[in-house]
Amino acid sequence: MSDAATEIKVPVVPAELERVPLVQNNRSFGWISDRVSAITEGKAPKWWWWSFIPSVCLLGLLGAMLFYQITTGVGVWGNHHPTMWGWDIINFVWWIGIGHAGTLISAILFLMRQRWRTAVNRAAEAMTIFAVMCAGIYPGVHVGRVWFDWWLFPIPTYQGLWPQFRSPLMWDVFAVSTYFTVSVLFWYVGLIPDLATMRDRAKTKIKQFVYGFFALGWTGSNRHWSNYEKAYLILAGLSTPLVLSVHSIVSLDFAVSQLPGWHTTIFPPYFVAGAVFSGFGMVLTLLIPLRSMCHLEDIITMRHIDVMCKVTLATGCIVSYAYVMEFIIAWYSGSAMEKFHFMNRALGPMWWGWVMMMGCNMIVPQLFWFKKVRSNLVIVFIMSIFINIGMWFERFVIVVVGLYREFLPSNWGYFKPTWVDICTYLGTFGLFFTCFLLFMRFLPMIAISEVKGVTPEADPHHPSAGGHGNGGKH
């Protein structure tokens, strides 16, 4: 190929700003396939086992806690009168929020032709799915009578009763289940070409069969690619409104009620921004170590990190704006209860929740204005942890602080979690990481075909390797 290329006269391209290449060091297609597949094909490294075993233990803890809670009653948790929702809903919203980055990266950025997404979208989507699974546990088991959960679905039964469509919890059921379904589909469709790659590289019969089964007979023909691209585009189109709707609807759980601090119209956009913020936080938390553990520095480059930091900064600023705006709205509303709520949020007995929220979500991300910070992986990693913590506290402030002191002071009461609350939460990490670690061991965690698509070689107009220009210019 290189011989032929030298014979063609290529007109000199006018001076153009060179973009930083998306895949560094001019890696070839083969290298990408090998490197990504190696994670699944080689022996599991020690660090994987060191992560996997504790994760499975935590997953067991989750099982035990759910078993205990379901057999005994919601009373094993700390929520009480008046704070009837506690860590159950906080963690539900928190995990759902985390589940936002994946689909945002894969759908919205896809539609916007943000090509850098290819390096992180697979892992982020997987993260989304596992986070939504963790989230989904909570509304499922937090109810008093788990065995009647199916009453929340619109199933025609002999009872002749339908769910109540006015209830935001009902909307939640639809929103979350739709989001989960579409996210899984989207993720799976994106996986098909890579599954075929895995199939082709597989050395055992079982692997060949399993990968082959899920690859749906992918041959890489033009027709396949054409259908695939269309399906992917359609799913991206479908997912995009879902990214916005899920967390909007989750926010309506609060906004539709009439509690001071909950009953507010800015919740939907503020929740979506918060979700993207926390989602990117979690993506950073996951990918920064993975990148070096799996030696993917050439694929998940510093540029990726940099871009994600910028998204985090932008959404962090939106959330901060909302935090401040809430106070202004409370003041401007003239509602004594609203005013009290926000005074109490900042000065009341749970002031520390608010301080954590403001500190982690408003102040910490401001460091991302600095290029030096964005390019220091250790700092970025630590900050991403802070963002995760901060977003947890945001939900804490909304759920618990919204409930523990409201209209009638006779109802006021202080919320304390129990050990079961804490262990259940830790257990969901077990589920999340168990799933994620299995995912990275058995599926390509980088979208191989898509990453190849953004390399310079993939450009039909691009001179093959060895010519001038060694990065994607798109």
Partner 1 sequence: MKTIPPTDTTPVTGRHYWRGLDQLADTPEFKTFLEREFPANASELTDPVSRRHFVKIMSASFALAGIGLGATGCRRPEDKLLPFGKAAEGFIHGTSQFFATAMPTRGGAIPLVAKSYEGRPLKVEGNAMFPGSNGGTDRFAQASILNLYDPDRATRFAKGTGKDRASITSGEALEALAGIANKFAANQGAGLALLGERTNSPSRRRLHQEIAKKLPQAKWYLYDAIDSEIHQRAATKAFGKSVKPLFRYDVADTILALDCDFIGGEEDAHNSIRQFTGKRKIEKPEDGLNRLYAVESLFTLTGVNADHRLRIAASAVIQVAAAIAAELGVNVGAMVSNSKVEFDKKWIVECAKDLKATGGKSLVVAGVRQPMAVHLIVAAINEKLGNIGKTVELVEAPATISAGISELAESLNKGEVDTLVIAGANPIYNAPADLKWAATQRKAKTVVRLGYYEDETGVSADWHFPLAHYLESWNDGRTSDGTLVPVQPLIAPLFGGLSDLEFMARLAGLTETNPNKIVRATFATITGDSSEAAWNKFLHDGFARGTAAKKTGASWSSSSLSEALTALTPAATSKDNLEVVLYRDAKMDDGRYANNGWLQELPDPITKITWDNAVLVSRTTARALDVENGDVVEISAGGKTIKGAIWTQPGMADYSLGIALGYGREQVGRVGVGTGFNGFPLYSGKTGYIVSGVSLKKVGGEKYPIACTQTHWSMEGRAIVREANLQQFKDHPDFADKMNAPVPPRPANHVGEWPVSLYPNPLDEAKKTALHQWGMAIDLNGCVGCGTCVVACQSENNIPIVGKDLVSRGREMHWLRIDRYYSADPTKRAWNSTFKPDEKQQFEEWIDDVQAVNQPMLCQHCEAAPCESVCPVNATVHDHEGLNVMAYNRCVGTRYCSNNCPYKVRRFNYLDYNKRSLKELKGPFYPTTLLHSTEGEWDLARWWKNQDAGMRLDDEWDLIRMLKNPDVTVRMRGVMEKCTFCIQRIEGAKIAQKVKAGESGDVVVPDGTIKTACEQACPAGAIVFGNIADDNSRVAKLKKQQRDYSVLDFLDTKPRTTYLAKVRNPNPAMPDYADPFTFDEFEKQNGNPFGHHGGHDEAHAPAAAKGAH
Contact (Cβ atoms closer than 8 angstroms) between residue 91 and residue 248: no
Q: Does the protein bind partner 1 through residue 332 (CB under 8 A)?
A: no
Backbone torsions φ then ψ of 204, nearest 5 degrees: -110, 155
Q: Does the protein bind partner 1 through residue 358 (CB under 8 A)?
A: no
Among 340, 381, 429, 442, binds partner 1 (CB under 8 A): 340
Q: Concatenated DSSP letters for 73-111?
A: -GGGSS--SS----HHHHHHHHHHHHTHHHHIIIIIHHH
Pick the closer one to partner 1 by CB: 40 or 83: 83
Tell me the closest approach of the beta carbon of residue 275 to partner 1, in angstroms: 21
Q: Rounded CA gap, 40 and 198, in Å?
A: 9
Q: Does the protein bind partner 1 through residue 149 (CB under 8 A)?
A: yes
Tell me the closest approach of the beta carbon of residue 407 to partner 1, in angstroms: 4
Choose the stretch contacting partner 1; rule: CB under 8 A; options: 3-11, 65-73, 104-112, 293-301: 65-73
Choose the stretch contacting partner 1; rule: CB under 8 A; options: 157-165, 190-198, 424-432, 456-464: 157-165
Q: Rounded CA gap, 4 and 6, in Å?
A: 6
Among 151, 228, 321, 442, binds partner 1 (CB under 8 A): 151
Q: Does the protein bind partner 1 through residue 403 (CB under 8 A)?
A: yes
- SS3 at position 98: helix
Q: Does the protein bind partner 1 through residue 418 (CB under 8 A)?
A: yes
Q: Does the protein bind partner 1 through residue 13 (CB under 8 A)?
A: no
Which residue from 198, 238, 202, 242 is spatially nearest to 218, judged by alpha carbons?
198
Q: Does the protein bind partner 1 through residue 74 (CB under 8 A)?
A: yes
Q: Does the protein bind partner 1 through residue 162 (CB under 8 A)?
A: yes
| Contacts with 171 (C-beta within 8 Å, 6 or more apart), sequence order | 249, 252
Q: Does the protein bind partner 1 through residue 167 (CB under 8 A)?
A: yes
- Tokens at 336, concatenated: 């004594």
Among 11, 14, 42, 144, binds partner 1 (CB under 8 A): 144
Q: Rounded CA gap, 22 and 109, in Å?
A: 15
Among 169, 189, 325, 385, binds partner 1 (CB under 8 A): 169
Contact (Cβ atoms closer than 8 angstroms) between residue 196 and residue 220: yes
- Tokens at 437, concatenated: 């670690």
Choose the stretch contacting partner 1; rule: CB under 8 A; options: 5-13, 192-200, 251-259, 442-450: 251-259
Q: Rounded CA gap, 77 and 421, in Å?
A: 6
Tell me the closest approach of the beta carbon of residue 278 to partner 1, in angstroms: 23
Among 9, 43, 81, 461, binds partner 1 (CB under 8 A): 81
User: Could you tell me the maximum CA-CA distance found in the chain, to the nearest angstrom?
Assistant: 88
Among 410, 460, 461, 468, binds partner 1 (CB under 8 A): 410
Contact (Cβ atoms closer than 8 angstroms) between residue 242 and residue 103: yes
Q: Does the protein bind partner 1 through residue 253 (CB under 8 A)?
A: yes
Among 2, 114, 227, 257, binds partner 1 (CB under 8 A): 257
Q: Using the structure block, give the residue that is written with the tokens 């401040």.
A: 324
Among 9, 408, 461, 468, binds partner 1 (CB under 8 A): 408
Q: Rounded CA gap, 96 and 253, in Å?
A: 13
Among 56, 76, 210, 458, binds partner 1 (CB under 8 A): 76
Pick the closer one to partner 1 by CB: 3 or 150: 150
CB atoms within 10 A of CB 364: 21
Which residue from 393, 398, 399, 388 is spatially nearest to 365, judged by alpha carbons?
388
Number of residues that bind partner 1 (CB under 8 A): 61
| Contacts with 147 (C-beta within 8 Å, 6 or more apart), sequence order | none
By the criterion CB under 8 A, which residues form the site for partner 1?
67-68, 71-76, 78-85, 142-146, 148-149, 151-152, 161-164, 166-170, 173, 253, 256-259, 336, 340, 343-344, 347-349, 403, 405-414, 418-420
